[in-house]
Chain A
Amino acid sequence: MKRFSFAAALLAATVLSGAASAKTLVYCSEGSPEGFDPALYTAGTTFDASSRPVYNRLVEFTPGTTQIEPGLAESWEVSDDGLEYTFKLRPGVKFQSTDFFSPSRDMNADDVIYSFERQLNADNPWNQYVAGAAWEYFNGMGMPDLIKSIEKVDDMTVKFTLNKPEAPFLANLGMDFASIMSKEYADKLEADGKMDQLNQMPLGTGPFEFVNYQQDAVIRYRANEDYWKGKEAIDDLVFAITTDAAVRLQKLQAGECHIFPYPNAADVESMKSNPDLTVMEQEGLNVAYLAYNTTQAPFDKTEVRKALNMAINKEAIVDAVFQGAATPAKNPIPPTMWSYNDAIQDDPYDPEAAKKMLEEAGVTDLKMKVWAMPVARPYMLNARRAAELIQSDLAAVGVEAEVVSYEWAEYLSRSKEKDRDGAVMLGWTGDNGDPDNFLHTLLGCDAVGGNNRAQWCNEEFDDLVNKAKTTTDKDERTKLYEQAQEVFKREAPWATIDHSLVVMPMRKEVQGYVMSPLGQHSFSGVDLAE
């Protein structure tokens, strides 16, 4: 009996020391992923849990920047007409070997083709492996019209042929939907009749391999021993799903997690004064705006929109909602984005002049709706508060505004409608660091009835952004985008509100974390000090 308890103690000690020597990084994430196949979804929360730890893409964004660097493609060539992209794949890249699948070969052209074909080709057996798979990013970015063909030149070379030149194409391939899956794993799941599993148990070439997911509670990953960039410094990565920001803060302070996103603005100062914590801050690649419906009277008149813009006190919004952790916006793209036109003069905050302009435009007793999002977003932490401030600003110039809101999904779909009533508050965080991803996506004529909440189709602006899209020379593109911003300011389809700071609190022992301007949370390269 005695010997037995000694053995048990020894076993317990081994287990404990095993647990102590493994480095575990706990990330208190803000929500549950929708699934683990990044191409099916659009939410950052989902990407943080799927494409970032588990997968790689042909090209990657250099950490902390919006520049692209080689990923699974070692190098690439673009034909002179900008229509053919030939990628040389990196040799010797291993897919993860997990409890649920052991790969027999390295990553090759078949995997790349499979990853895109399933989204591109409606006849592909994987196109509808999840009921109603809409491939929202792939389709939303116009990829089906853009990509003419994807060919395997040899095992390690893939050629994309486009229908028209498209400057942001390379950057787009660094986005989450372009993650490279294992065709071998997919084939096995198909043969076993378990295709659903692809979205539940992901397997890629990335720094961490998936271990398991307990719905709404915890996701576990293990460092990929055979990662092509070398094994990570930490051994285990744990996502502790904690939806309440105040609780996330308490967990950080108690040492139950090492790092978390989206703190409450009010807590930032006290976190900064806590010697156990580091608070990283970065200007977000984002914008919050109020989009008028430019197809409806009186908002179809430029001078009315201008006057309303002059009536809104942005400084007051930034102070009240962000407590200074944001800057008032004058352009539709953030200052950290290339081609930002700093020469633009913002409309001054001038209620008297605004009142006068409205009178001159013959607008009296204007009643309008101001839509406020029901959720906190990085670019707008408290939309209702901001809307109320706008409401009182507008009242000061004789405009009666009513604040309305809907459930989030309903809000997004209703605000798209062309004959929608009122001005909609919304915002955007860039996906790929390209100005096209703001200017064309949010304000182009193609996006009317969709992302273009101002329903604004201006020929001059549209020509500029379309020309910039098909030009590959960056200087030339910069000039075009600068001009587009001038048109935007002159025509005022939106009241631009703010660009926010993104805050990332972590414990002192976390080392090597790099904030992404694209709002991604990636733990590759992170270490924990002893």
Chain B
Amino acid sequence: MLRFLVGRLAVLIPTFIGVSIIAFSFIRLLPGDPVMLMSGERVMSQDRYEQISRELGYDRPLVVQYVDYLGGILSGDFGTSIVTKQPVLYQFGELFPATLELSLCAIIFAVLIGIPAGVFAAIKRGSFFDQTIMGTALVGYSMPIFWWGLLLIILFSGILQWTPVSGRISLLYYFPQTTGFMLIDSLLSGQAGAFRSAASHLILPTIVLGTIPLAVIARQTRSAMLEVLGEDYVRTARAKGMPPFRVIAVHSLRNAMIPVVTTIGLQVGVMLAGAILTETIFSWPGIGKWMVDSVFRRDYPVIQGGLLLIAAIIMLVNLMVDILYGLINPRIRH
């Protein structure tokens, strides 16, 4: 196991360095002067330009700059926002709970619906249900998030008025954020209705963000189940007269879950990409919307630092999935 872990880490480090080189070059490949871009100043005298250039270290060789940049990152310095003057890492910490809360809800939604749907489709293979579920999954998988989100808003918020349109909670509720998770904070606030408001605000973004993972999980579960159902031990169990539910729930599903767990883990990257669009449509104040707003504001340090942080999270999650997979399926370690 230790060798397996070391091997994974050995891959992770060069990947992270690669990503950091891309993030580092990003500012230099953009049109415009990096000093102007990073300082956020539009008008400056030659003296001021040179001063800022020195402060930012742009007068030194590229390699030195890069090593310095990497050193900064390792000590937690991901730059400072031009707009708010706050450290990028601090802002990330402030906004990440919102994204995490939404992503967790979305993945729970996707798992709770996706796995039963996939199992059901596998059992009734070739039937009308199977075709409907798989057809819907295909549609869900190819649904453009922006369009899908607006469609749900128009239907459920606009016409039916069942759900709120956007934001995390009704603006009439106003309380300090202790954990950053609105579902928890609203309960702590003691204001009647706050939790309900927070929960109802979560419904549409959860569905929108969860749609693609749901479709992927349903398809993956179906194919894994089909494979397992064809195995000898399942046939044996059936032949012995075991109740069908037990055959499926205990013998088949547990084994079919191994590839599905990996799929769920890999969906985290997809979710973070989806969060950028979902959060923008629903004015959800998380890191996805933060990145988009920063692009519009040309807050380059945030774009640069934010990309790197998001990449780091995806890599960490993938590492955890690998470890988990190794634990479930010992064969993979060798």
Binding site for B on A (CB under 8 A): 8, 11-13, 15-16, 19, 24, 26, 31-32, 34-35, 131-132, 134, 136, 196, 214-218, 220, 238, 240-244, 246-247, 250-251, 253-254, 256, 407, 409-410
By the criterion CB–CB under 8 Å, are A8 and B83 in contact? no
- List, in ascending order, chain A residues with CB within 8 A of B44's CB: 132
Which residues B142-170 have CB closer than 8 A to chain A? 150, 153-154, 157-158, 161, 164-168, 170
Q: Is B174 at the interface (CB under 8 A from chain A)?
A: yes
Q: Which of B17-25, B244-252, B282-290 contacts A (4 or more CB under 8 A)?
A: B282-290
Number of A-B contacts (CB under 8 A): 101
Closest A residue to B85 using CB positions: A196
By the criterion CB–CB under 8 Å, are B83 and A410 in contact? no
- List, in ascending order, chain A residues with CB within 8 A of B150's CB: 246-247
Closest A residue to B294 using CB positions: A216
What's the Cα separation between A196 and B84 when bound, in Å? Answer: 10
Closest A residue to B163 using CB positions: A254
What's the Cα separation between A243 and B285 when bound, in Å? Answer: 12
What's the Cα separation between A250 and B39 when bound, in Å? Answer: 38
Name, among B31, B164, B171, the residue most crowded by chain A CB atoms within 10 Å (CB to CB).
B171
By the criterion CB–CB under 8 Å, are A410 and B32 in contact? yes
- List, in ascending order, chain A residues with CB within 8 A of B29's CB: none
By the criterion CB–CB under 8 Å, are B285 and A215 in contact? yes
Supposing A32-B293, A254-B157 touch, asked if A132 and B85 sit within 8 A by C-beta, the answer is no
By the criterion CB–CB under 8 Å, are B171 and A247 in contact? no
Name B285's contact: one of A26, A134, A216, A238 (CB within 8 Å): A216
- Per the CB 8 Å criterion, the residue count for chain B at the interface is 44
Q: Is B15 at the interface (CB under 8 A from chain A)?
A: no
What's the Cα separation between A515 and B31 when bound, in Å? Answer: 39
Which residues B34-86 have CB closer than 8 A to chain A? 39-44, 48, 83-85
- List, in ascending order, chain A residues with CB within 8 A of B39's CB: 131-132
What's the Cα separation between A215 and B280 when bound, in Å? Answer: 14
What's the Cα separation between A103 and B119 when bound, in Å? Answer: 68
By the criterion CB–CB under 8 Å, are A218 and B171 in contact? yes
Q: Is B91 at the interface (CB under 8 A from chain A)?
A: yes
Q: Is B193 at the interface (CB under 8 A from chain A)?
A: yes
Name, among B43, B153, B166, B298, the residue most crowded by chain A CB atoms within 10 Å (CB to CB).
B166
- List, in ascending order, chain A residues with CB within 8 A of B283's CB: 217, 240-243, 247
What's the Cα separation between A432 and B14 when bound, in Å? Answer: 57
Q: List 7 A-B contacts (CB under 8 A).
A: A16-B192, A132-B44, A220-B174, A247-B281, A251-B165, A256-B165, A256-B167
What's the Cα separation between A15 and B172 when bound, in Å? Answer: 11
By the criterion CB–CB under 8 Å, are A12 and B191 in contact? yes
Supposing A12-B191, A217-B285, A250-B157 touch, asked if A132 and B42 sit within 8 A by C-beta, the answer is yes
Name A134's contact: one of B41, B191, B192 (CB within 8 Å): B41
What's the Cα separation between A16 and B41 when bound, in Å? Answer: 46
A526 smallest CB distance to B (angstroms): 17
Name A256's contact: one of B42, B164, B190 (CB within 8 Å): B164
Name A132's contact: one of B43, B158, B290 (CB within 8 Å): B43
Name, among B39, B84, B173, the residue most crowded by chain A CB atoms within 10 Å (CB to CB).
B84
Closest A residue to B282 using CB positions: A247
- List, in ascending order, chain A residues with CB within 8 A of B193's CB: 16
By the criterion CB–CB under 8 Å, are A247 and B293 in contact? no
By the criterion CB–CB under 8 Å, are B165 and A12 in contact? no
By the criterion CB–CB under 8 Å, are B290 and A247 in contact? no
- List, in ascending order, chain A residues with CB within 8 A of B161's CB: 254
Closest A residue to B170 using CB positions: A256
- List, in ascending order, chain B residues with CB within 8 A of A35's CB: 83
By the criterion CB–CB under 8 Å, are A240 and B191 in contact? no
By the criterion CB–CB under 8 Å, are A247 and B153 in contact? yes
What's the Cα separation between A8 and B43 when bound, in Å? Answer: 57
- List, in ascending order, chain B residues with CB within 8 A of A240's CB: 167, 171, 283
By the criterion CB–CB under 8 Å, are A12 and B281 in contact? no
What's the Cα separation between A214 and B161 when bound, in Å? Answer: 27
What's the Cα separation between A134 and B36 when bound, in Å? Answer: 13
- List, in ascending order, chain B residues with CB within 8 A of A246's CB: 150, 153
Which residues B193-245 have CB closer than 8 A to chain A? 193
Closest B residue to A13 using CB positions: B192
What's the Cα separation between A16 and B191 when bound, in Å? Answer: 8
By the criterion CB–CB under 8 Å, are A26 and B171 in contact? yes
Supposing A214-B285, A243-B280, A410-B31 touch, asked if A253 and B171 sit within 8 A by C-beta, the answer is no
By the criterion CB–CB under 8 Å, are B293 and A242 in contact? no
What's the Cα separation between A240 and B158 when bound, in Å? Answer: 18
Name B289's contact: one of A8, A216, A220 (CB within 8 Å): A216
What's the Cα separation between A218 and B190 when bound, in Å? Answer: 22
Supposing A32-B293, A215-B91, A247-B166 touch, asked if A238 and B281 sit within 8 A by C-beta, the answer is no
B272 smallest CB distance to A (angstroms): 18
Name B192's contact: one of A12, A31, A247 (CB within 8 Å): A12
- List, in ascending order, chain A residues with CB within 8 A of B173's CB: 19
By the criterion CB–CB under 8 Å, are A244 and B281 in contact? yes
What's the Cα separation between A250 and B154 when bound, in Å? Answer: 7
Supposing A24-B172, A131-B39, A247-B281 touch, asked if A254 and B191 sit within 8 A by C-beta, the answer is no
Name B166's contact: one of A15, A132, A242 (CB within 8 Å): A242
B208 smallest CB distance to A (angstroms): 13
- List, in ascending order, chain B residues with CB within 8 A of A216's CB: 285, 289-290, 293
- List, in ascending order, chain A residues with CB within 8 A of B280's CB: 243-244
B39 smallest CB distance to A (angstroms): 6
Closest A residue to B292 using CB positions: A243
What's the Cα separation between A490 and B31 when bound, in Å? Answer: 39
In the complex, given contacts A196-B85, A240-B283, what are 17 additional A-B residue pairs having Cβ atoms less than 8 angstroms apart? Answer: A12-B190, A15-B190, A15-B191, A19-B172, A31-B296, A131-B41, A132-B44, A134-B42, A215-B290, A238-B171, A242-B166, A243-B280, A243-B296, A244-B280, A250-B158, A250-B166, A410-B32
Name, among B32, B150, B165, B298, the residue most crowded by chain A CB atoms within 10 Å (CB to CB).
B165
- List, in ascending order, chain A residues with CB within 8 A of B166's CB: 242, 247, 250-251, 256
A32 smallest CB distance to B (angstroms): 6
- List, in ascending order, chain A residues with CB within 8 A of B174's CB: 220
- List, in ascending order, chain B residues with CB within 8 A of A136's CB: 42-43
Closest B residue to A214 using CB positions: B285
By the criterion CB–CB under 8 Å, are B285 and A11 in contact? no
Closest A residue to B298 using CB positions: A409
By the criterion CB–CB under 8 Å, are B165 and A250 in contact? yes
What's the Cα separation between A24 and B161 when bound, in Å? Answer: 21
What's the Cα separation between A134 and B41 when bound, in Å? Answer: 8
